[in-house]
Amino acid sequence: MPEALATITLAEEGLIELRYRPDAKLTIAGMRDLLQSRIMLCGAVPHKVLSFLPDGIDFDKALMDQDLYGDPVSVATTRAMAIVVTDPVNSHMLELFFAYYPAQFPMRLFSLEVEARKWLKGV
């Protein structure tokens, strides 16, 4: 199995944190592996996800052609998702991605971790 794209932790009951490695390249296969890792931690129980995307992270352009969060497993296991992103290019790419593939669960982008955590507590 290739090296993981992110560190995954069960931060508290019902909240998974994904911290993407700065040297990782985001791929469709890697993102699917992350979903499977989330399910291994929480089972089929819906959970919230707090993701941290480092500045300048590389991604496979094929990601823009795939609805990564629209499959039944993602929808059933994700209560809400907050993504902390400070890189303007990555932020724009995520906005574009979610414009093409709207999440079927509450999802927002944040530039500050504290705001993301506060929002997740309220959903």
Rounded percentage of the chain residues whose pLDDT exceeds 70? 98
Sign, CA dihedral 33-37-38-39, equals positive
Q: Which residues of the chain have pLDDT under 70?
A: 1-3
Contact indicator for 40, 77 with CB cutoff of 8 Å: no
Res 4: pLDDT: 83
Task: Give 101-123 pLDDT, tens digit per residue.
Answer: 999 999 999 999 999 999 999 99
Q: What is the pLDDT of residue 83?
A: 98
pLDDT at 115: 98
Handedness of CA 35, 117, 9, 88 (dihedral sign): positive
What's the pLDDT at 6?
94
CATH (residue range 6-122): 3.40.525
- pLDDT in the model for residue 3: 59
